[in-house]
Amino acid sequence: MIHFAIVGCGHIAQKHAESIQFIQDAHLHAVCDTNRITLDDFIVKTGAIGYTDYSEMLDDPKINVVNICTPSGLHERLAVQAANAGKHIIVEKPVALTLAAVDRIEEACLRNGVKCAVVHPNRFRPAIVELKKMIDQGRFGTISHVNATVRWNRNQAYYDQADWRGTKAMDGGVLMNQAIHNLDLLLWLMGPVKRVHAITSTRLRAIEAEDVAAAILEFENGAVGVIEAASTIYPKNYEESISIFGETGTAVIGGPTASWIKHWVFEHSLPSENEQLIQIIEADPYGIPGHQRIIRDMVRAIRDDREPLVTLRDGRNALKLVLDIYAAAERSALEHEEVSQ
């Protein structure tokens, strides 16, 4: 039995707790939060042992894995502490807020011989799995361009829930919090990015970070990428999509979340085959929840002594692309000022 502990008992922690319940050979042993009311409520829901002191929880020898579900600005410190205590780690996205912080987590994991997985669960959606297969099989031919769109709503009440939301030091904006999943998918599907142009802005929300962003990418394989991300859409989540266009294939995965096949056409594919796949996806668009897949994989990675499917390096790559977009947007702003002058 692999025993898990959760630090940070907010909304996302509930997904972790529910996922652990469905996994054979996994058990939620302990939970930790500095807010006693939040902690007590979570203890009632899960039946786990509760701690307000993280260091005390890490002293529990029964714990094998720590799931970090706190504000992003705390990820580095908590992950390094867990690694130094000899615990494996599952950390929510973004893995951290700076590359230096990720590198310190990696160094601690290597020094202590522990594994670290980053929560990028969208890779496991059935439609995305099929999309990855088509790329790996070369069914698109030469890919001309790809598109990732996130048109979602995070209203002011969402950010007002806690004073850390929307801050650069603890949280970030739409790229760091919502669209980072889509950036991870682009990197997983298309490979490294060579060049970035971008604009970011804070248009509607009273937050420090961006609520809308647009970027153009050039991948190392020559393909062009277009990213649109916004948390300003009225009045609710409207669209999340991943689109890939190649010389012998077109695929668009979309919907309120990128879970449904909207277009699926490939050279030498029969329309009946495409329609059958679309029907299979529509019957179960979400499949086994991504959090459950990541936690189950950690159990297997420990047993088989291998790397998790979504590694710390994967989390670093997604974070780097967010930071590269921020840097490109800053350069664009400076160039605009020079032109205006």
Q: Across the strands, what pairs with 153?
A: 232
Radius of gyration for the alpha carbons in the chain, expressed in angstroms and rounded: 21
Residue type present at position 17? A
The structure tokens 């997904």 sit at 15
What are 225-254's pLDDT values in tens digits?
A: 999 999 999 999 999 999 999 999 999 999
The structure tokens 């867990």 sit at 82
Interatomic CA distance for residues 280 and 53, integer angstroms: 47
- Tokens standing for 320? 């780097």
- In terms of DSSP bridges, do strands 260-266 and 249-254 run parallel, antiparallel, or are they unpaired? antiparallel
CB atoms within 10 A of CB 140: 22
- Whether the CB-CB separation of 70 and 170 falls below 8 Å is answered with no
Domains of the chain plus CATH, in order, are: 2-114 (3.40.50.720), 122-288 (3.30.360.10)
The structure tokens 């439609």 sit at 127
Confidence of residue 16 (pLDDT cuts 50, 70, 90): very high
- Whether the CB-CB separation of 146 and 244 falls below 8 Å is answered with yes
- pLDDT score recorded for residue 198: 98
φ, ψ at 228 (rounded to 5°) = -125, 125
Residue 140 has pLDDT above 70, yes or no: yes
Q: How far is CA 220 from CA 57, 223, 228, 313, in A?
A: 44, 7, 20, 18
Q: In which element (H, E) is residue 101 found?
A: helix 99-112
What are 181-226's pLDDT values in tens digits?
A: 999 999 999 999 999 999 999 999 999 999 999 999 999 999 999 9
The structure tokens 């997604």 sit at 318
Residue 111 has pLDDT above 80, yes or no: yes
- Whether the CB-CB separation of 101 and 320 falls below 8 Å is answered with no
Residue 128 has pLDDT above 60, yes or no: yes
Question: Rounded to two decimals, what is the model's pTM?
Answer: 0.96
Interatomic CA distance for residues 323 and 222, integer angstroms: 21
Interatomic CA distance for residues 4 and 2, integer angstroms: 7
CB atoms within 10 A of CB 198: 22
Task: Report which of 173, 10, 204 is spatially closest to residue 97, judged by C-alpha positions.
Answer: 173
φ, ψ at 142 (rounded to 5°) = -75, 125
Residue 94: is the preceding peptide bond cis (ω within 30°)? yes
- Tokens standing for 103? 């590198």
What are 141-180's pLDDT values in tens digits?
A: 999 999 999 999 999 999 999 999 999 999 999 999 999 9
